Copies of this chain bind each other. A is one copy, B any other.
Amino acid sequence: MFKEFIARYENALVNDVIPFWEKHCIDHQYGGYFTSLDRDGSVYDSTKYMWMQWRIVYMFGEFYASEYKKDNYLEIARDGFDFLYNKGRASDGSYYFALNRAGEPVISQYNVFSDCFAAMGAAEMFRATREEKYYNAAREAMDSYLKRIASGNPAGVWNKSMPARQSYLALGHYMMIANLALVMKRGLGISDYDRDGAAALDLVLDKFWNEEHQVVFENILLDGTFDLESCQGRMLNPGHVLEAMWFMLDYMQESGNDSRREEVLKIIEATLKFGWDKEYGGIFYFMDVLGKPHLELQHDMKLWWVHNEAIIACLYAYKVSGRKEFLDWFKKLDDWTWSHFPDPEYGEWFAYLNRRGEPTHMLKGGKWKTFFHLPRCLYMSVKLMKEMQQ
């Protein structure tokens, strides 16, 4: 059933996406990676954004441990790790947001997701090599991430919010805990974070889902209620929700406890329905649950990662449920995504399309796009489809 899809996804991964990054992202002079890559792979800015850097370590580590293994994948990941671990870590074990090309920190450690992606990259390196230094680096970064989230103030001294400001719990923080717990389990072979992962899963399903509006909110009040009076409270991020939901299915599969599977399937379907642009196709970036104006100028754009995560969510949902609606959604998404994002001329995919699906930028990588969502989508999709073929 998936034969053509598997061939197409695997071909893109092996003959297009991995080679594009292998060829263009390595900074042979200073170490680390270039991620600001123009349409043809040329470098248009050499700032080393830590999220983007660590995600490359993670992905090349993952491919080294996969059926697509090549020896140089480990070298690429190892060299990056050394650069990032040595240059990118602040004295408290947290990670800066950005380094300059030479590796000097240029933007502070205000953003907690630098720690998150460092933990993922290091854990994947341990899985690939079993070398203790990677294990320790992964634990250190993971503990920093969890501690900062638990503090209620992950931005630390760079937090611009004042005491009177309405505080929210953010979906992104908890969805990443569920994913990280699994990465630690698989990468480090430990169960130390199982409770954190299970608690995050329950929190998202118990609190962030709103039955009345049939949506998962991006931000909820600290007491678990919803804030429909402010832009922040009404905000939806369908791509985030779909990513979170396949993390949940993945977590359930690993833990063997799928008691909440039906809730996850319901959320995936509701999010696809709510997020799909009925006029031009594709999934919106940001939405307001009541259709009021969105703060972000780019809210109606179509982003590659949103569609990558949606494809994985559909395939995972179809695999665990066998329900035809998820297969239909997958085909619809596959069709829109593949007819709008790939760049037939220079390879790899465009990142940013306007609402109509026309590219607004020619970049293949930047401050927010790197070797991560797209290769992970292709890889996970091939894996899920092959499992279903058998």
B106 adjacent to A295 (CB under 8 Å)? no
In Å, the complex CA distance between A108 and B159 comes to 9
Tell yes or no: A38 within 8 A of B by CB. yes
Which candidate, A41-49, A243-251, A330-338, is the interface stretch facing chain B? A41-49
In Å, the complex CA distance between A295 and B165 comes to 29
Tell yes or no: A100 within 8 A of B by CB. yes
In Å, the complex CA distance between A299 and B165 comes to 30
Tell yes or no: A300 within 8 A of B by CB. yes
Given known A231-B36, A299-B360, A352-B297, contact A158–B158 (CB-CB < 8 A): yes
Given known A158-B160, A299-B360, A355-B354, contact A229–B46 (CB-CB < 8 A): yes
A165 adjacent to B106 (CB under 8 Å)? yes
Chain A interface size band reads 35 or more
> Nearest Cβ in chain B — how far from A79, in angstroms?
21
A160 adjacent to B97 (CB under 8 Å)? yes
Chain B, Cβ-Cβ closest to A157: B157
Contacts of A165 in B (CB 8 A): 100, 106-107
| Apart from A107-B160, A108-B161, 4 more pairs, CB < 8 Å | A44-B292, A45-B229, A46-B230, A297-B298
Interchain Cβ contacts under 8 Å between A and B, 13 examples: A38-B292, A44-B293, A100-B165, A100-B166, A106-B165, A106-B166, A108-B161, A293-B361, A295-B367, A297-B297, A298-B298, A300-B354, A354-B355
